[in-house]
Structure 1
Amino acid sequence: MKFALMFTNAAFPDAKGAARLGRLAEDAGFDALITVEHVIWPTAYNSAYPYSPTGKIPGSPSTPLPDPLIWMAWVAATTSRIRFMTGILILPQRNPVVLAKEVATLDYMSGGRIELGIGVGWLKEEFAALGVPWERRGKRADEYVAAMRALWSRDDASFTGEFVSFSGVSSNPKPANGHVPIVVGGHSEAAAQRAGRLGDGFFPLNAGQGEIGALIAMMRRAAEAAGRDPEAIAITTTCPGVSPRGDGDPRPAIEERRAQGVDRVIVPVSSFMPDLEDSLPRFGEKVIRQFAG
């Protein structure tokens, strides 16, 4: 079982704090740092945030939220082993050709430590501000994944779709290992099915112990229907019962997640604050090293 810290760019938006977190997390044995994205924060919005009972994003419009790719590049330059995942990047809002270049460059320069976690978005007002259609954003996301993979896999690449088309183009550098893992985020049926059809990973963030079993089963059925190996799709999710500070016995909860097929457990970095120099190493010793290998 691997472990990751989530929403790290929101917790440490400043350069010094981000570098400090990266080094401490790497030394403690964490596998990855997970970032979150919103390009803009509407002063007023009617869309319901799906991860809070209030329906509102925690914080305020003045809360610093660095671009995840730039934040990851900064911290990658101060570390050598820890991985980075967007959790999630709102794919339909991006130009896929530009994004393919950005992500491949970041992966190439970091030595293959990038995972692109994607979602289709929930904040309709953000799409309006960006001039991106809200409708059919799921179809747009699927197409963007295919287009990026075409650019990553070969030179003289071509792709023809409804939302993006190009012919005879090359984008270099390529990712360090020939591709960047695409991790599909979301705890809906559509997200589970998308992960099964085209994902290298599945990231059902807001799923309880029972609910996640149904989502994983749905993802695996979708993978089999698409002729893919469901066991090859890595699963990252939260794990209620794991104390961020290593208190109590986390083994029953982690073993239950492992039995469900979970590969990586995420914990909120905010729960380790403010004494990271003490809390992160303690978690590494009491929890991460118990489940290494």
Structure 2
Amino acid sequence: MKLGISELFPGAGPRDGRWSMDAAQLIEEIGYHSVWLPEHVVFFPSYRSQYPYESGGAQEVHRMLGVHDPLVLASAIAATTTTLRIGTYVFVVPQRNPIVTARQVASVDQLSGGRFEFGVGVGWSEEEYTALDVPFERRGERMNEYLAAIRELWAEEELTSFSGEFVEFEPLYCFPKPAQPRLPIIVGGNSRATLERIVKYGDGWAGYSRTHEDIEVFTEKLSVAMEAAGRDMSELSLKVGRRSKGTTEKDWEDDRAYIEEAFRLGIDEVVVSPRIGDDDYEKKMRRYAEIVGL
């Protein structure tokens, strides 16, 4: 089974890049399939924006306070591992210039030997958009256009041009190209817009904090939409994120039950965020793998 690890950083204190690289080597050795890196460019003491995934709100977000830039960390992990898939869960596409993003992601894919997966999302924090001087309104439309431009920039043709509402550029050279013939774009979210974005631009789905009923309903709708567009579900990699509810082995047994049912429903990979601090990290990660049946 494919099991990924998300939120690869110490449980408390300053973020240490060496720690993250060592942890990535460990989870590769244990047998996890992938590592997934979250993104927030900046954080705030409190939020007016509603955190959409957990009841903890800003408290949950602050667990990631000080996280490294995901593409920079992905490059470091690529240099210290050999088989581990590396991805973003998720990269907030509308906040960055798409030409720069295309080049950075392609560079990571080259440096990793074609092991990168581009998990993408629109984000939820208006405060973050404001700080970056990017309009929060119509971020979905902006993201769609950016993804289209990025695909063009990754194409085999040397010269690329694009003309849209949010991005426009005359013929230019953008290198490197990705190592993979089609670098996977894994679309995060749970909305109707997410579903449409997967069908038009995506190679997979990155759901998060979904019940089994949610998964079943969403994938059924996705299957219908894919068929209507002349695409097959076999073209997609379906992933769901699961954050452990606690730190005990009983909590991890609950994770196992969730994972088993997710696979039964057709999910290809479950990306888990076990609540494990940096104390006895190796011992706990190995025990977690045993309990969830890796």
Does TM, scored on the shorter chain, surpass 0.5? yes
Q: Give the secondary-structure state (helix, strand or coil) at the position aligned to 2:67.
A: coil
Establish whether residue 7 from structure 1 lines up as the match of residue 7 from structure 2.
yes
> C-alpha distance in 1, partners of 2:61/2:178?
35
Give the drift of 1:37: 0.9
Partners of 2:208 and 2:254 in 1: how far apart?
A: 22
* Larger displacement relative to structure 2 (86-95 or 44-53): 44-53
Shift of residue 123, structure 1, vs aligned partner: 0.4
SS at match of 1:204: strand
| Equivalent pair of 1:9/1:68 in contact (CA under 8 Å) | no
Q: Within 5 A, what are the aligned runs for 1:80-119?
A: 80-119=82-121
Q: 1:1-293 maps to which residues of 2 (within 5 A)? A: 1-9=1-9, 11=11, 13-58=15-60, 60=62, 63-154=65-156, 155-238=158-241, 248=253, 253-271=258-276, 274-285=279-290, 287=292, 289=294
Report if the CA contact (8 A) 2:244-2:274 is conserved: no
Give structure 1 stretches of 5+ with no counterpart: none
Shift of residue 145, structure 1, vs aligned partner: 0.9
The CA deviation at 1:188 is: 2.4
Confirm or deny: 8 A CA contact 2:276 2:284 kept in the other structure: no
Matches of 1:61 and 1:282, distance apart in 2: 23
Q: Distance in 2 between matches of 1:206 and 1:136?
A: 24
CA distance 1:186–1:11, change in 2 (3 Å): farther
The answer as to whether partners of 2:241 and 2:271 remain within 8 angstroms in 1 is yes
Question: What letter is aligned with 2:2?
Answer: K
Say if 1:81 and 1:234 are closer, same or farther in 2 by CA, change over 3 A: same
TM-score in terms of structure 1 length:
0.89
CA gap of 1:274–1:143, structure 2 versus 1, over 3 A, is same
Alpha-carbon shift at residue 278 of structure 1 (Å): 1.9
Percent of pairs with identical residues: 37
Deviation at 1:249, TM superposition (A): 8.8
For the aligned residue pairs, the C-alpha RMSD in angstroms reads 2.6
What whole-Å deviation, never above 9, does each CA across 1:158-186 have from its counterpart, x for those lacking one?
22211112232221221111332101111
Aligned residues: 289
For the residues of structure 1 that align with 2:197 and 2:222, how far apart are their CA atoms?
A: 8
185-194 vs 153-162, greater mean Cα deviation: 185-194
